[in-house]
């Protein structure tokens, strides 16, 4: 009787181990999202990396991996992941916007302006891209153009654009 119980227990453990080791890209994505939601960006990054290893074209995992790297201030790593995701999905406003944010943090204002412009091309009412592009333009001395972008951000409902416009544009 003990032998049968031991055999049954070993069988169950083997099945558990096999099930665990056969996690899918989506499983790692879900786990990474859960970790990211509690700001465990290091743990989330590891799960998103596993999701990408299992499915290199998983744009959601690439996007989330880029976001986790951004939150950990690894802007070059974030840009790299966003580049790969954009290669797979060049119609994503969020990818261009977030890559623009990473470039902005690296003080690559012209690169950020270009990415925010691509996001605006894909969604002409993207108030966050207008706002961030305005700040990037202002940082390189393009005040008049920055004020036009702030006006557009305000037009589409950005709650900070009016205050910044009063400070920078008048």
Instruction: Supply the DSSP symbol for 72.
Output: T
Does residue 11 form part of some domain? no
Is 114 exposed, middle or buried (CB count within 10 Å of its CB: 0-12, 13-18, 19+)? middle
Say how many domains are in the chain: 2
Does residue 57 form part of some domain? yes
Residue 5 pLDDT = 56
Query: Helix (H, G, I), strand (E, B), or coil: what is residue 34?
Result: helix
Same domain, 166 and 138: yes
Does residue 53 form part of some domain? yes
Does residue 13 form part of some domain? no
3-state helix, strand, coil in the chain (%, to 5): 80, 0, 20
Contact 59, 46 (CB under 8 A): no
Give CA–CA dist 3/79, Å, rounded: 56
Does residue 149 form part of some domain? yes
Cα 144-147-150 angle, rounded to 5 deg: 155
Same domain, 113 and 82: no
Residue 10 pLDDT = 46
Residue 2 pLDDT = 59
Does residue 2 form part of some domain? no
Residue 17 pLDDT = 43
Same domain, 83 and 32: yes
Q: Low-confidence residues of the chain, pLDDT below 50?
A: 7-10, 12-20
Q: What is the CATH number of the domain that holds 138?
A: 1.25.40.10
Same domain, 118 and 62: no
Residue 20 pLDDT = 47
Same domain, 114 and 168: yes
Same domain, 83 and 112: no
Which residues constitute the domain of residue 62?
Answer: 25-89
Same domain, 74 and 116: no
Rg (CA), the chain: 22
Give CA–CA dist 77/110, Å, rounded: 19
Nearest to 151 by CA among 135, 132, 131, 137: 131
Does residue 5 form part of some domain? no
Listed residues 46, 61, 89: the one ending a domain: 89
- Per residue in 109-144, pLDDT (tens digit) is 999 999 999 999 999 999 999 999 999 999 999 999
| E strand segments, the chain | none
Residue 57 pLDDT = 87
Does residue 10 form part of some domain? no
Give CA–CA dist 95/113, Å, rounded: 14
Is 59 exposed, middle or buried (CB count within 10 Å of its CB: 0-12, 13-18, 19+)? middle
């Amino acid at each position: 009787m003990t032998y049968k119980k031991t055999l049954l227990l070993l069988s169950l453990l083997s099945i558990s181990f096999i099930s665990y080791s056969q996690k899918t890209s989506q499983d790692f994505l879900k786990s990474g999202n859960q970790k990211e939601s509690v700001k465990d960006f290091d743990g989330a990054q590891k799960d998103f990396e596993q999701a990408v290893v299992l499915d290199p074209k998983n744009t959601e995992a690439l996007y989330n991996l880029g976001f986790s790297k951004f939150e950990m201030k690894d802007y070059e790593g974030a840009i790299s992941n966003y580049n790969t995701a954009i290669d797979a999905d060049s119609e994503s406003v969020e990818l261009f916007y977030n890559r623009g944010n990473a470039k902005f943090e690296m003080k690559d204002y012209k690169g950020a302006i270009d990415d925010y412009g691509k996001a605006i091309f894909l969604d002409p009412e993207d108030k966050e891209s207008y706002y961030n592009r305005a700040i990037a333009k202002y940082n390189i001395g393009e005040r008049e153009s920055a004020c036009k972008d702030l006006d557009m951000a305000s037009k589409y409902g950005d709650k900070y654009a009016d205050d910044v416009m009063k400070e920078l544009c008048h």
